[in-house]
Amino acid sequence: MKRAVVYQSKTGYTKKVAEWIALALSADLLPLSSISASDLLGYDLLIYGGGLYAGGINGLKCFNAVISGVDGAQIVYFATGATPKRENVVPELIQHNFHQDEGAVPLFYVRGGFNYTALGLMDKVLMIILKLKIKSKKEADRSPDERGMLAAFSRTVDFTNSNDIEPIVKYATERGFL
Ligand SMILES: Cc1cc2nc3c(=O)[nH]c(=O)nc-3n(C[C@H](O)[C@H](O)[C@H](O)COP(=O)(O)O)c2cc1C
C-alpha cells in the first residue's frame, strides 16, 4: 500500500499536522505546490490538508484539479483552523467546500493556530477588516470565536496537538491502508 500526504500551508500549522500524519502512516509528504498528477500515480491513499480561510480549505480546488487525472486512490481530506472543534464543524465544512452532505466526503478537522505576523499582505488586510468588523460590535455581542480572534492579533497561538491526528490514522488503519 502506497500512501501520501499532500498539503498547502500559509503559516505552518497544516504543514506540522501533515508531517505528523505522514510519520504515523509512513506516508510520503508532498507540498501541493511541488506536484503534478503524474507524481500521484500509484498511490492507494492520498490525504489532502489545507488551512481554513473564511471557511474554505486552502488549495482544495487546485488539489482536486490535480487528482482529476489520478484513478484508483482513496482520497481523505483534513482542514486546520483556529476555531475550536465543534460538533457541527465537519458537516458545515463539507457543505461549504464540497456542496455535499455529511458522510459523502471523508473530512477531518484538526485545530491549528493563528500567527498574524506570518501572514502575507492580502491575509493581513483581510484580518484587519475582520478586526474592525468585530470591534464595531458591542463587547457583549461578540462571540467566543470573535473574542479569541481579537486576542490572537497580539500573540501567536498554537493549538496543534499530535493526538488530534488519531481519527485520521484510525480511518486509514481500519480500511487496510497500512
Ligand atoms: C484571512 C483568514 C481567514 C481565516 N478563516 C478561518 C476560518 O474561517 N475558520 C477557522 O477556523 N480559522 C480561520 N483562520 C485561521 C487559519 O485557518 C489557521 O491559522 C490555520 O491553522 C492556518 O493554517 P496554515 O498556516 O497551514 O495555512 C483564518 C485565518 C486568516 C488569516
Q: Please state whether beta strands 28-31 and 3-8 pair in parallel, antiparallel, or not at all (unpaired).
A: parallel
Minimal CA–CA distance to 153: which of 176, 173, 129?
129
Q: Which three cell numbers stand for residue 45?
A: 491513499
Separation between Cα atoms, residue 148 and residue 126, nearest integer Å: 16
CA of 111 to the centre of ligand 1 (A): 10
Q: What is the pLDDT of residue 106?
A: 98
Phi-psi region of 150 (alpha: psi -120 to 50; beta: other; left: phi over 0): alpha
CA of 1 to the centre of ligand 1 (A): 32
Q: What is the pLDDT of residue 40?
A: 97
Average pLDDT over residues 85-111: 95
Nearest CA to ligand 1 atom 4: 53
pTM of the model: 0.95
**For residue range 113-172, what is the model confidence (pLDDT) as tens digits?**
999 999 999 999 999 999 999 999 999 999 988 888 888 888 899 999 999 999 999 999
Nearest atom, ligand 1, residue 11 CA: 25
**For residue range 40-71, what is the model confidence (pLDDT) as tens digits?**
999 999 999 999 998 999 999 999 999 998 99
Nearest CA to ligand 1 atom 21: 112
Tell me, using a 6 A CB cutoff, whether residue 8 lines ligand 1: no
Average pLDDT over residues 86-106: 94
Model confidence band, residue 95 (pLDDT cutoffs 50, 70, 90): very high
**For residue range 3-13, what is the model confidence (pLDDT) as tens digits?**
999 999 999 99
150 vs 79 pLDDT, higher one: 79
Ligand 1 pocket: which of 6, 8, 114 to mutate (most atoms <8 Å of CB)?
114
Nearest atom, ligand 1, residue 16 CA: 26
Burial state string for 89-125 with b = 16 or more CB within 10 A and e = fewer than 16: bbeebbbebeeeeeeebbbbbbbbbbbbeeeeeeeee
